[in-house]
Structure 1
Amino acid sequence: MADVATKPQTRAKGQETARRVRKAALRRFAATGYAAVSMREIASDVGVRPGALYNHFPTKQDILKDLLLSHMTDLLEAWETAVFSDYTDPLEQFVRFHIRYHLERADEVFISYMELRNLEPQNFSLVEAERRRYEAILTGILQKGASEGRYDIDDAKVTTRAIIAMLTGIPTWYREGGHLSEQEIEDLYLTMVRKTVAPVSVQSQTETG
């Protein structure tokens, strides 16, 4: 009976250690880059022997893959459960959601884009597939808006990537307490996105108005 009782405790302890490994690795990767970080440094931050890390992540590459896939999984789940009671325009919903989510996770955003190049081909394919799933959300919004005459775009997928790149860049320069609030940033970027996809006639009216 004692052995049975200790199994959940052992499992919980292992999960907690894995969580701490992810947290330490995330901090290290964001600060100095994946290539400069050793498993020994991560183990030291967690407070375990280097060999203990291999019970959870066989290689440093496995940690990076886990971090990047977890980021995309959490992002997609957050979108699926998001509530937009104040906004009815799908494009506005996406822009505001993307900015808010990413501003709260600057380290995750940084390594998710900067460390893609360090993924092995198979792992890169896994992460890239999840990124395409997220991009497809915005692409669908743009394609529907274009079919209804509300947007004027030449290539929905290219426009999607341009918009996401612009929005994702915000955490690299935004600092809390600056001259712009998060709400003001959302409003400014939403205006820029709308101008990017607006029909020429609407753009002309905005400029002359």
Structure 2
Amino acid sequence: MARTKGSVGATTQKAILDAAKTLIVKHGFEAMTLRQLAAEVGVQPASIYRYIESKDTLLAALMTEHMDTLIHAWEALEDKGETPDEQLEAFVAFHIRYHVERREDVFIANMELRSLGEAARADVVAKRRAYELNLWRILEEGVKTGDFPETDLEVATYAILAMLTGVCFWYRPEGRLTVEQIIEIHQGLVMRGVVSGDFQAV
């Protein structure tokens, strides 16, 4: 008898995670059912519990994996630059590339944080803060060295991240600009904003 795509443990585990991302993006976490997920993967509804404890733990696993992978990818990046200017440009390029390549993960991380249980949400938020701190420190160092003017670091950090993350929601591979062109434009926007002090709090 031929095996279905849900009949091999490791393959099924990955298939469940991949299918869950697609269904959550399409229907929303609250509307998605485990019965839908089982049908998408090709297993019996009862069998889904061999791979996940619950719908809530599935969402937590997806979002935790996203943040852990994001943090590790930044830490593993070899060329982060030497000066604050170079480091800021490197961060902009990294953030955009990572996010346009993982649009489902980013959508879920931004739209479904509210659906997490209290403990899982606190864990994901802590990981998000840890990642954001990388940008904060680049800006802080630039202010200390005089490369960047005095600014509200919190406002600047969140303003930059919101702009960069937003790319994955409107970017289309078939669009008129390549990812590299979009990165270059955003590097210019961010650098001009930081250097001019436009990220000051009102």
Aligned counterpart for 2:118 among listed residues 101, 121, 125: 121
Structure 1 unmatched ranges of 5 or more: 1-11, 204-209
The answer as to whether partners of 1:150 and 1:199 remain within 8 angstroms in 2 is: no
1:153 and 1:36 map into 2 onto residues whose CA distance is: 46
Name the TM-score, length of structure 1 as normaliser. Answer: 0.85
| Residue type at the aligned position of 1:149 | G
Is the counterpart of residue 77 in structure 1 residue 59 in structure 2? no
Question: How far does the alpha carbon of each residue in 1:164-201 deviate from its partner, in whole angstroms, 9 at most, with x for none?
Answer: 1110010111111212111111111111111221146x
Name the Cα RMSD after superposition: 1.7
Match of 2:34 among 11, 31, 39: 39
Q: Once the two structures are superposed, what CA deviation does each residue of 1:76-114 show, in whole Å capped at 9, x if it has no partner?
A: 1111111328x5510011000001111111111111101
- Aligned counterpart for 1:179 among listed residues 167, 170, 176: 176
TM-score (norm 2): 0.88
Instruction: Give 1:6's aligned residue.
Output: none
Structure 2: stretches of 5+ with no match in the other structure: 1-6
Are 1:108 and 2:105 counterparts? yes
Distance 2:168 2:33 in 1: 26
CA contact (8 A) 1:102 1:109 kept: yes
Q: Give structure 1 regions of 4+ aligned residues with deviation exceeding 4 angstroms.
A: none
Q: Which has the larger radius of gyration?
A: 1
Residues 1:57 and 2:52 are matched in the alignment? yes
1:9 aligns with: none
Q: Distance in 2 between the 1:171 and 1:71 partners?
A: 15
- C-alpha offsets along residues 51-83 of structure 1, whole Å, 9 cap, x if unaligned? 111122121111110000000111111111113
Amino acid at match of 1:168: T
